[in-house]
Structure formats: structure tokens, C-alpha cells
Structure 1
């Protein structure tokens, strides 16, 4: 699943949350932070959707224009320069679409890990994070509990009382179910590494020591952490599923399933997520072999109808309000 899909699926929850915040507080300047923003073509998508929702509500209420302060965050290695180069086009497009009726929008970047403080105390109205929180500093459940709690506590210090936050992350359907979600994809990736070990192309010790630092929690685990940490009230928690191959979510009656094409699509998405980690651990010379074998294993997996029916990702959208 791509980040664009996650943002699109969570659009209504984000819009509902930000409109509620605006209607209750009527700030003159709305400060928004997007954590784990990335640097691709979808970086400014969620900001556009937030502004669109606010402007629609503001015009409907007959209120004067407000200013926007937008802070984009990601790790220091993120390509912030490409984001900044795209801002003139973003500003011009926004002004044209809003017919110069909205107030000024100020966008800046803050590099750093969101597992800790990033912003001054009580300076943010709304925080958004898509496909970032499930990445861990280490692995797995206990670390997710620790990292997510640190994330929540840090944001509580930074968000104004009653401010909102919406998080989208990979999840799973139940505490015991690891067979129908991203965990199954991880197992197929592990199998691909082991296949190359058997061929003598990867050292067994290196394959065994590779871990993908990602944890997909179930709803019960998320609720338990929120209750224990205690900084936010849970406004909404929704679950949605998507196919591993996103093209299968939009097929028509004339669609003919092709397991090889689908396997290639899935590999392309997973490669975008994992390649840098694999290169760091195993070197770049073996990367093409890994993903070629992964494509083959995915194709075998999709050959069985029962397995194909289970080839879906579970996603959680969490809407929170900071306690006073």
C-alpha cells in the first residue's frame, strides 16, 4: 500500500477532525505539523486536503481568512530541498484555486525523529502522521509500546489543550492473526532471503540478523497504550483493508487477474519501503536477486485462491484529542 492511498483512505477522518478543531477554537493562525512527511509527489497532498477542508468550513461560517503555519518533519536524511523547490508551484496553485481569499500559508521543515520533542510547548493545533508510527527504533511489541508512548507524550507537550492528531499506520485484525496482513509479506521476504542463502548468495548469519523494524498493532493493543499513556482522548479508531496489489482495489468487470503482473506490482511497492534497509545490511550487489526471488515467491503465493483472498493489508486510522 502506498502512502498516497493511506492519505486518501483517511481523508474523511482528517477533514472531520480538523474542521471540528477549527469550529471550536477559531484560531487566527492554524499551526499544523505533518510528521514523517517524506519528499515525494504526495508530500503536500495532506496539507492541501487540510486547507481545503478548513477553507470550505470557514467560508460557510462567513469568517475572515486565517493564516496557516505548516511544519513538515522527517528524519535528517530526508530530501527537504526537493520539497522546498516545489513550494512556489504549491503556493501559486493554492492562491489560484482559492481566488486569493485565503490567508498566507507559511511552510517550513524540521528534521529530526518524532520519538521525542520537535516543537515548542503548546505550539501546534493539529498533527498528522501517515505510515510513520509503525516504524520502530528497535523490534517489536514491547518496543512499539515504548515508542508509541514516547510519541504520544511528546506530542501532548507540543499540542495546545484540545488540539487534534490523526495517525494512520499498518495494523492487523486481531491479537492472534498474523496471516492475512503485512506480516505475511514479511515472511515471504524472509523466505526470499533464505532461498538465496541456500544458493550461497547470502551469508546465513547476515540473513538471520536482518530485521524489518516495523510493528503492525491490533486495535486492542492501540487502545491499551492510549489508555495507559493517558494524554489523549480517543475520538475515532477505524480499520480499512487494501489489497497488496493496489490495482486490484479498482478493477472492473473486464479485469483479468494476472498473478505475475500483480506480483510485480507488490514487489515494486515493498521495494520502495525496504530497499534502503536491505542495502545497508546486505549491500547493493544482491538487491536485484532478492526482489527477483521475492516476485517469484509472491507469484506462487497468489497462485492459490485461498492465499490470494488473504493478501490484504490492514490499516488503522486513529483520531485523538489532546486532554486539557
Structure 2
């Protein structure tokens, strides 16, 4: 699967990511105290005469959450500047995602709202705020050396740079790690995550200044068992929907056997191990939290809301592999399966949040 296909549904329609990212907003709000503590620590380590503060949002996507954290960070720095009697620095905000991301909607609709919000909440005393789009994979270099003070990423780093090799042989019955997955499949996924996360940290170590910080929230799991339902169940149920379509002759079995999700949901211990192995950052906080699948929507039938949420994320990958003719039927089946399981079980996403500081 081409890495460029890993983008959310663009636009503002019913199945767009912009219209189906409520759970991501709730997770960002849940982790706000960690982000506030981290940027406060970074601000206090800066030269008091610093005239510029550079923030990056990695995996920004193109919905209401794109500039949500940036706005909060600017307000926190404004408050800190007043407390410490310093001049408010100018802000540079870098929004990164893969080139297939809908950057047009960011700059056409979201950026004017962002500027109006800051002007309303901070007023005329606000410093200039420059916003840039940075297309590219965060598993490579994106920014100039020693240029970033703070970096935030939420619900992005579970996506791998590619589908691990060998899955077409070992993983024919699943589209991700499943409860029946052989060790070879789990090892392949974990090995790809370790490699990708190491690359991510090494690239950021060159771009973040000494004393700069990052807060990363990753869809993960609490269990040390990579095949536990915490990290796999949502994809297992999509696999059931696809298998139903195979049995109906709509999808070829061989086509399904070649489809795998390029994702890995790590445990806190795996994230800690990866940060310590790379060695450029020290961990300030590492926490796991939970949010219900039902929080994917603000109201209405839960299975419908979760299916829409997952469609906004997975549709580009599914269309690229199976074509668009199956999509409506697939998500009708998925919705029914989700509704059934959610009525009988407690279903939750697990979030792993890590706050790190760049060694000096």
C-alpha cells in the first residue's frame, strides 16, 4: 500500500474526516493538562529575549481539530508572557501531513477562523502568527535543524510508514493483528513500529531545540499482549464485514488476503522502551487513558456513528485496494456488526500519551 494513500477523507461532507473527528477532539481535550504542563516547562527554559516561538502539529489532517491545539498553545504562551513580564514572541505554526491531505480546506476555511479566534481572545496585543503547510512523511526530516520549540501530534503515530513485509503470507485471515494471529504477524507489526518510531524520534531530535518538548498521543493499548481486543477489535469487526462480502462473491478471497492495515497500537511500555532506545529525549509523563467507541458521535445510533468515524479514516485505503463500488455496502454491514457488539460489550479506545523533553 502506498504511503500517500494514508490520508483521511477530505472536504466537509457527511463521510469526511472534518465531520467525523469528535472522538479525536475529546482525546485532545482529555490530554490538555499534559500539553499545558509541557509547554510551560518549555517556555520557562527559553531565553527571556526570544522573539520567536515555533510550533509544529504533525498529522494535522483537515478538520476542526487541525488548529485547535495551536490556538490553545498560543493562549498559554500569552498567559505565561504576562506572568513573567516578557514580550509575547512571534509564532510560527507548521501544519504537517502527507501530500494527499486536504490542505486547501485548512487555508480556505480553518485559518480565517483561527485568526479570528485569537484576535477575539487575545486581542490587539497578540503577536504576529505565521501558519505554514508542510506536506511530507514525519518518518523523514521535515524542518530545519534546531528550529522547533514545541511539537504536538495526536492519533497519528500509530500509522506505520508501510504495511510490514511478509503479511501477504502470514496474515491471510485478518486485515490487522487479530486474536488468532501467529507470532510472526505480531513480530512483523511490532518490528515495523519500532523502526518507524525510532526514525521519527531521530528526525525530531535534529529539529527540536535543546529543552524543546513534544506531546504525542497514540492510539494504543494498556495490555502487553499486542493481540488483545483493546488495540485490534475495531479492525477485527471490519474484517468480518469484508469476509461476509467474500462469501457473497462481491470481493475475491485472494484480494482480501492481500489487504492489511498499516497500523500498530503500542503499549505504554513499548513507547517508553522506544524513547529510551533512541536516547535524544527524556520522558516527563507517560499515561494511558480510555475513551468509549460511543463517543465517536454526539448523538444518534452508536454503531452508525462509529462506522462513519471509521469510514472517514479507512475509506481511502479501502478504495485504493478494492475500488469504490463496495464501500456503501461494506459500511452498512460494518454498522450492523458494530451496533450488535456495542449493545452487548463495553468497547473503548485506549490512548497512550507521552510528554518528552529534548536533551540539551
Return the TM-score normalized by structure 2.
Answer: 0.83
Distance in 2 of aligned mates of 1:294 and 1:48? 36
Residue among 311, 317, 334 paired with 1:271 = 311
Residue among 212, 215, 219 paired with 1:170 = 219
1:21 aligns with 2:42: yes
After superposition, give the CA deviation of every residue in 1:55-82 in whole Å (9 maximum; x if it has no partner). Answer: 1121122222211111111111112222
Q: Look up the match of 1:202.
A: 251
SS of match in other structure, 2:124:
coil
After superposition, give the CA deviation of every residue in 1:150-169 in whole Å (9 maximum; x if it has no partner). Answer: 00000000011111011011
Counting only pairs closer than 5 Å after superposition, residues 199-278 of structure 1 correspond to structure 2 as 199-246=248-295, 261-278=301-318
Distance in 2 of aligned mates of 1:50 and 1:160? 17
Q: Does the CA-based 8 Å contact 1:180-1:312 persist in structure 2?
A: no
1:98 aligns with 2:122: yes
After superposition, give the CA deviation of every residue in 1:62-104 in whole Å (9 maximum; x if it has no partner). Answer: 2222111111111111122221223234223312321211211
Count, aligned residues: 311
Distance in 1 of aligned mates of 2:99 and 2:340? 39
* TM-align CA RMSD: 1.7
Distance in 1 of aligned mates of 2:23 and 2:312? 9
After superposition, give the CA deviation of every residue in 1:241-263 in whole Å (9 maximum; x if it has no partner). Answer: 00111069x99xxxxxx8xx111
Q: Look up the match of 1:317.
A: 353
Q: Look up the match of 2:178.
A: none
SS of match in other structure, 1:76:
coil
Gaps of 5+ in 1: 252-257
Counting only pairs closer than 5 Å after superposition, residues 81-92 of structure 1 correspond to structure 2 as 81-86=104-109, 87-92=111-116
Residue among 277, 288, 304 paired with 2:328 = 288
Distance in 2 of aligned mates of 1:21 and 1:35? 18
Q: Look up the match of 2:83.
A: 60
Q: Look up the match of 2:33.
A: 12
Q: Does the CA-based 8 Å contact 1:67-1:103 persist in structure 2?
A: yes
Gaps of 5+ in 2: 1-21, 165-188
4+ runs of 1 displaced by more than 3 Å? 177-180
| Cα deviation, residue 303, structure 1 | 3.7
